[in-house]
Amino acid sequence: MESKCDESAEAASNDSEAFVEWRPLLFVVLIISGCSICYELIISAISTYLLGNSVLQYSVTIGLYMASMGLGAYLSKYVVNHLFRRLTQIELLVGLLGGTSSLLLFTSHLYLRNYVIFMYAEVIAIGVLVGAEIPILTRIVEADKRRLHVTLSSIFSVDYLGGLLGSIAFPLLLLPQLGFFATSFFCGLVNVVAATIILWRYARRIDGVRSLRIVAICLLASMATGIALSQNISRIIEGGLYRDTVILSEQTPYQKIVLTKRDDDLRLFLDGNIQFCSKDEYRYHEALVQIPMAMTPSHENVLVLGGGDGLAAREILKHDDVKSITVVDIDPEITRLCAEQETIARLNGGALTDKRVRVLNEDAKQFLAESHDAYNVVIIDLPDPNNEALNQLYTGAFYRLVAAHLTEGGTLVTQSTSPYYAREAFWCIHDTMEKEGLCVLPYHLQVPSFGDWGFNVASRGKLNRDVHVEVNTKYLTDEIVGAMFEFGKDEAHPDDIVTNTMNRPVLVEYYDKALTSWG
């Protein structure tokens, strides 16, 4: 009986000693896994920002990254000696590549012909290195025979936990608070910290530890400097991405906001896509708002979905019978900026602070699902459907939900991309609305900063194309309005258009196809 007690006590003692000995390595595993997930997400998010098609970018990045990790795990078998030294070298290299990943990716997009090839090379390089780390670390622990299974189970448990922490921290904390550049530098810094822990805790096991410590200190200083200078780096890079001077750049939980200016030309970009140019925005917003307003006998209550810049609200307020405008935009930073920034507020005529305007920072779909109000006119001024999150706001189910909030004789209108540059996408939106039993009329006009741009106006009853604009405009005339409903042969409805649903987001495919074909 005493022998069994002694064996249990000895086993417990061995467990405790093994845990104490390898506890720093468990923390290193946590860092490796968390940063690894962040690098995947950084590369995927930047590629989506630059190229669009989020499903493709995330799928390819994650798939290639996982395969590269498998290759790294396989190649790790050739690392036979000096395991602590090799692990530290790999960790330092991962910190360097991962920490500079945002800078390298944006720079390659600016100066290289084929960004995708460079992006793939970045994914493979980091993936191979990360894939080699855990097998090498496992072999280090394997040399200790004291309750090996306990230590190994702890390693893999911490590995999965680190992945969870990284996947939560990136979208909720790192990217919104730090932006792309500071986030990647921060993750690189954390990776180098992991290497530093190994260098100091297991120094006696590492050959040439002094030189590695010098490298680690230099990388720590470089990553810290990168974090401190990330805003300056961002301004320089964005100066290359945008033709005009960047006067504001802000990453919110929802999107990247960039404001540029050259002379009296102010431009707003969301996730790299232009939202308005102050020189010609009136053409777009007059067409968006005044056509459905002219088709609707009453304008007492108007709903704007999107339109956080206040420019659609400005056009609506030209009508004296408007009593209430509800603007629903998910991002509070956009509505705050466009209400407070002097040039934009002057451009929208202070519409967002008008007593008749109510601004709600909510998801448009959720707002409609929970609201019981009815509106004479609904203006849908949302970003282009370049990802699956936005796609749901262009589906039949969404248009059906919008139509349920129309008063008798009410109209709705949505911006619908370009019937020339994205012809299939434009008519997909038209057909999707029509499939919901709505009477739909397509129209378009030239906006210099956008090109040929299209809209679809719809109602549950019949619509009359013979409309008269009765408010003051800078561009629209009755003659121009009549011509806006005509389409040339190269903009006409193509054959075999599939309607858009959440289950099959063909609109995103049509949109991405147009982006690819026009470069």
189-230 residue pLDDT tens: 999 999 999 999 888 888 889 999 999 999 999 999 999 999
pLDDT greater at residue 139 or residue 436:
436
pLDDT at 419 over 60: yes
Question: Nearest 5 degrees, angle CA 494-CA 496-CA 498?
Answer: 110
The confidence score (pLDDT) of residue 18 equals 47
pLDDT at 113 over 90: no
The confidence score (pLDDT) of residue 243 equals 79
Residues of the chain with pLDDT > 70: what percent?
A: 94
Q: Which of 83-87, 122-126, 153-157 has the highest mean pLDDT?
A: 122-126
Q: What average pLDDT does this structure show over 259-285?
A: 92
When pLDDT is cut at 50, 70 and 90, the band that residue 8 belongs to is very low
pTM: 0.79
Which is nearest to 395 in space by CA: 503, 500, 306, 511?
A: 500
The confidence score (pLDDT) of residue 7 equals 43
- Chain segment 302-332, per-residue pLDDT in tens: 999 999 999 999 999 999 999 999 999 999 9
Q: Name the least confident of 3-7, 37-41, 64-68, 454-458.
A: 3-7
Q: Are 374 and 340 in contact (CB under 8 A)?
A: no
Q: Are 280 and 447 in contact (CB under 8 A)?
A: yes
pLDDT at 138 over 90: no
The confidence score (pLDDT) of residue 50 equals 85
pLDDT at 460 over 90: yes
Residue with tokens 């798939």: 63
Among the listed residues 363, 381, 452, 512, the single catalytic one is 381
pLDDT at 244 over 90: no
Q: Mean pLDDT score of the chain, rounded to an integer?
A: 90
The confidence score (pLDDT) of residue 423 equals 96
The yes/no answer on whether domain 279-517 falls in CATH 3.40.50.150 is: yes
Which is nearest to 196 in space by CA: 97, 98, 92, 90?
A: 92
The confidence score (pLDDT) of residue 100 equals 96
Q: How far is it, in rounded angstroms, from Cα 136 to Cα 77?
A: 8
Q: Which two tokens stand for residue 387?
A: 């990802």
Which is nearest to 382 in space by CA: 366, 397, 365?
A: 365
- Using CB atoms within 10 Å of the CB of residue 139, give its burial: 0 to 12 exposed, 13 to 18 middle, 19+ buried: middle
Q: Where in the chain is the domain with CATH 1.20.1250?
A: 2-237
Q: Where in the chain is the domain with CATH 3.40.50.150?
A: 279-517
The confidence score (pLDDT) of residue 6 equals 44
The confidence score (pLDDT) of residue 146 equals 53
Q: What average pLDDT does this structure show over 507-518?
A: 86
Classify residue 437 by its DSSP letter.
Answer: T
pLDDT at 279 over 70: yes
The confidence score (pLDDT) of residue 354 equals 96
Q: What average pLDDT does this structure show over 236-264?
A: 87
Q: How far is it, in rounded angstroms, from Cα 375 to Cα 150?
A: 64
When pLDDT is cut at 50, 70 and 90, the band that residue 149 belongs to is low
Instruction: Reply yes or no on whether 159 is catalytic.
Output: no
CATH code of the domain occupying 2-237? 1.20.1250
